[in-house]
């Protein structure tokens, strides 16, 4: 699988969750993901199996999960899109934190990184105008 992989928004959420959990602690398990996402362990296992078939995660049976380089890249891109959208909603549009978080989660899956970079540049221009 050398081509760019397109995964569903749901699978991007799993990758993003694993990414953040890995940054918080060394070992991520199915239980950690289920707790973080407030979903059942069987649902997590089903998603992890799909991510494994795309070579986006490594998972030992009943062991910890690790993102592959491809999985980490998708997770980082998703997290970056989320951050930029949330920043735009809170800093530019003055949307409250809870609403911005919810809406950023929805929008992060539908915008390209090139659009996100332009949005980020806009945020920088508006919040740091040259004098």
pLDDT tens, position by position, 54-64: 999 999 887 89
The residue to which tokens 């891109």 are assigned: 77
Q: According to the model, what pLDDT value does residue 1 have?
A: 35
* DSSP 8-class letter at 93: S
Burial 27-55 (b: 16+ CB within 10 A, else e): ebbbebbbeebeeeeeebeebbebbeebe
Per CATH, the number for 74-127 is: 1.10.60
* Helix and strand numbers, DSSP H then E, in the chain: 6, 2
pLDDT tens, position by position, 32-80: 999 999 999 999 999 999 999 999 999 988 789 999 999 999 999 999 9
- Cα–Cα distances in Å, from 2 out to 11, 56, 70, 75? 19, 12, 10, 17
4 pLDDT higher than 70:
no
* Token code pair at residue 60: 């030992």
Any idea where the domains of the chain sit in the sequence? Answer: 9-68, 74-127
Mean pLDDT value across the chain: 91
- Compute how many other C-beta atoms are within 10 angstroms of the C-beta atom of residue 72: 17
**Burial class (CB within 10 angstroms; exposed 0-12, middle 13-18, buried 19+) of 131:** exposed
- State in words which class domain 9-68 has: mainly alpha
């Amino acid at each position: 699988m050398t081509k760019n992989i397109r995964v569903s928004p749901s699978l991007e959420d799993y990758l993003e969750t694993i990414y953040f959990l890995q940054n918080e602690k060394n070992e991520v398990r199915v239980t950690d993901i289920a707790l973080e996402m407030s979903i059942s362990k069987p649902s997590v296992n089903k998603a992890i199996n799909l991510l494994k078939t795309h070579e986006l995660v490594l998972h030992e049976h009943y062991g910890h999960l690790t993102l592959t380089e491809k999985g980490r890249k998708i997770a980082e891109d998703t997290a970056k899109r989320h951050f930029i959208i949330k920043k735009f909603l809170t800093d530019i549009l003055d949307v409250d934190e809870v609403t911005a978080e919810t809406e950023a989660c929805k929008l992060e899956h539908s915008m390209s990184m090139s659009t996100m970079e332009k949005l980020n540049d806009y945020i920088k221009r508006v919040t740091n105008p040259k004098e």
